[in-house]
Amino acid sequence: MSLILALDFGGTKLAAATVESSQREWLRHDHCLSPANADALSDIEIMRSLIDSVLDGRKPDAIGVSFGGPVDADTGIVRLSHHVPGWENIPLQLLLEEEYNAPVSVDNDANVAAIGEYQFGAGQGYETLFYITISTGVGGGWILNGKTWQGAGGMAGEIGHMVVDPGGPVCLCGNRGCVERFASGPYIAQNAKELLEKHPPHSQGGTRGDILRHLVGNDLNKITGQLVSVAASHGDELARAVLNKAAWALGVGIGNVANLMNPQRFVLGGGVTKAGDNFWAIVRKVAQETALPEVNFEVVRAVLGDDAPLWGAVALGLDILD
């Protein structure tokens, strides 16, 4: 029996866990929010203490790591973090190998979560799948014939910046109408806010925006993607329209990917996927309509939740030991 150490360097959260290689439950599990002024060194320092806590004096046989940003999976060198400064070109694999004297495998969080869902979650038995996380950003990870696919430069999976509406609003990436520009949590919030700013309270009668406005006590800066979902579930038509557009963008993106790569399954995780049955119905309907009739696929929920990257890290560790 081998001990696997799984690490998750998220944008806002750090987590570590241990598992015996034959088990499917955590031996120990600990996590911690990344402080607001975090940098790479402080993240590593915090992770070190989490590792100490979960190892509890034992030595790991293999270490799998999920990192929230682009990584060269061959060398385990981090390119950068989009959230935390100082991660440019940090040789994370080497650092961990030297400190813990065990083999280490590192990949970016979307790829690792894809492996997690493939090995232990909603992708079990599906050799070819695309995992999509719809959260602060929209990203994806490929499993092709049971192996991850990172692309020639490690950048594959960026469904978030697929353009689905060239006349749409401008995204942070510079293009108009990317999937992420409609479907990420922060953009859902921003789109709702902008619509509310255009429609003063009660201007249209009915429930266009009033429920959402009420939820934030009329302080539109407090709107979050989650609150837009809550408002929609209570019948707010403006909130529903914003979510429907998010679901539509995601559906077009999924249909386009189905035509292009023909995977068996799409596994969707991340906070935005909790937006309710109507959201899911639109995603599935639009995806089906966008794909050619001969292209078959399913769109299903991720099941590992926030632990998908950690379970994927376990799979990376197991892969080293094989």
Looking at beta carbons only, is 155 or 281 nearer to a copy of itself?
Answer: 155
267 near a copy of itself, rule: CB under 8 A: no
Among residues 33, 170, 260, 281, the one that binds a copy of itself under rule CB under 8 A? 260
255 near a copy of itself, rule: CB under 8 A: yes
By CB under 8 A, the residues from 166 to 185 that bind a copy of itself are: 166-167, 173-175
Piece of 5-13, 51-59, 220-228, 256-264 that binds a copy of itself (CB under 8 A): 256-264
CB of 270 to a copy of itself, least distance (A): 18
Dihedral-angle region of residue 145 (phi above 0 means left; psi in -120 to 50 means alpha; beta otherwise) = left
162 near a copy of itself, rule: CB under 8 A: yes
**Residue 125 CB-density burial (10 A; 0-12 exposed, 13-18 middle, 19+ buried):** exposed
CB of 283 to a copy of itself, least distance (A): 15
125 near a copy of itself, rule: CB under 8 A: no
Angle at 249 between CA 185 and CA 254, to 5 degrees: 110
CA proximity to 29, closest of 316, 311, 315, 240: 311
CB of 216 to a copy of itself, least distance (A): 31
Looking at beta carbons only, is 190 or 264 nearer to a copy of itself?
Answer: 264
Looking at beta carbons only, is 2 or 264 nearer to a copy of itself?
Answer: 264
CB of 183 to a copy of itself, least distance (A): 15
* 69 to 72, 174, 211: CA distances (angstroms): 10, 19, 36
CB of 76 to a copy of itself, least distance (A): 18
42 near a copy of itself, rule: CB under 8 A: no
By CB under 8 A, the residues from 65 to 124 that bind a copy of itself are: 70, 79
Query: Residues binding a copy of itself: what is the number (CB under 8 A)?
Result: 45
Among residues 144, 230, 241, 320, the one that binds a copy of itself under rule CB under 8 A? 144
298 near a copy of itself, rule: CB under 8 A: no
304 near a copy of itself, rule: CB under 8 A: no
Looking at beta carbons only, is 33 or 260 nearer to a copy of itself?
Answer: 260
312 near a copy of itself, rule: CB under 8 A: no
What binding mask, one character per residue, do residues 199-238 give for a copy of itself by CB under 8 A, x or -? ----------------------------------------
Q: Name the site residues for a copy of itself (rule: CB under 8 A).
A: 70, 79, 127-128, 140, 142, 144, 149-159, 161-167, 173-175, 252, 255-257, 259-264, 289-290, 292, 294-297
